[in-house]
A and B are shown apart, each in its own frame.
Chain A
């Protein structure tokens, strides 16, 4: 059973539209992550989030992307103006407190840009 629930499971959007992907942790986690996986390729880090701030971000996470935790529960990834190359699986992950704790992933949202 994943420690996070991601919605929607599949999102189809026209290029240029905004999308919001949601992640709800099962228990009270403090450390959140977004990764993406383009079809057939490896999982890539996007961003980490702790205490309502971005801790780290990759080169992929440009100005088109943003994250927030608006209500203390949901953790969201927003892509403002989607491009064809944004088509991928997007995974949310959480990590328990403690330095050497693994990240636990949700089952992802498949984003398809038309």
Chain B
């Protein structure tokens, strides 16, 4: 979900469980979406992307779902591992020839061993 001020929403899950991270995006014209993972002291790392003409895309242990009706994006991580602990950002591309990304405020995922 969205954060308020400096406080990131936090999701705590047990190792081995599935995680679902949600994101509400702002621009109904956005045509491309990306999930990034950011570990402490590092840059955003690409996880998975999806175009606006799709509603689901699967990768290795990750699935992204797109609901354009309510402008909602989710990232599902199967069998969550300690190495998945990080801050996760969704990013949207506004379309109409623009390639700049607008990032959400992030969700902190903590995996409990």
Contacts and interface: CB of A to CB of B under 8 A. Distances in A.
Interface stretch (A13-21, A80-88, A105-113): A105-113
Interface in A66-114: 91, 93, 95, 100, 102-108
Contact of A42 (B32, B99, B103): B103
Given A48-B99, A48-B100, A56-B99, A43 B44 contact: yes
Interface in B87-113: 89, 91, 98-106
A2 B99 contact: no
B61 interface: no
Contacts of A93: 43
A65 interface: no
B43 A107 contact: yes
Given A102-B46, A106-B43, A107-B43, A42 B98 contact: no
Interface residues of A, number: 25
Interface in B40-94: 41-46, 49, 51, 89, 91
Interface string B27-49: 00000101010000111111001
Decide if the interface of chain A is mainly helix, strand, loop or mixed.
strand
A105 B91 CA distance: 13
Contacts of A55: 99
B42 A45 contact: no
A100 B44 contact: no
A41 B45 contact: no
A107 B42 contact: yes
Interface residues of B, number: 24
Interface string A54-69: 0110100000000000
Most A Cβ at <10 Å: residue of B8, B42, B104:
B42
A43 B90 CA distance: 10
Given A44-B103, A107-B43, 20 more contacts: A33-B99, A41-B105, A43-B103, A45-B101, A48-B99, A56-B98, A56-B100, A58-B100, A91-B44, A93-B43, A95-B99, A102-B34, A102-B46, A102-B49, A103-B34, A103-B46, A106-B43, A107-B41, A108-B42, A108-B43
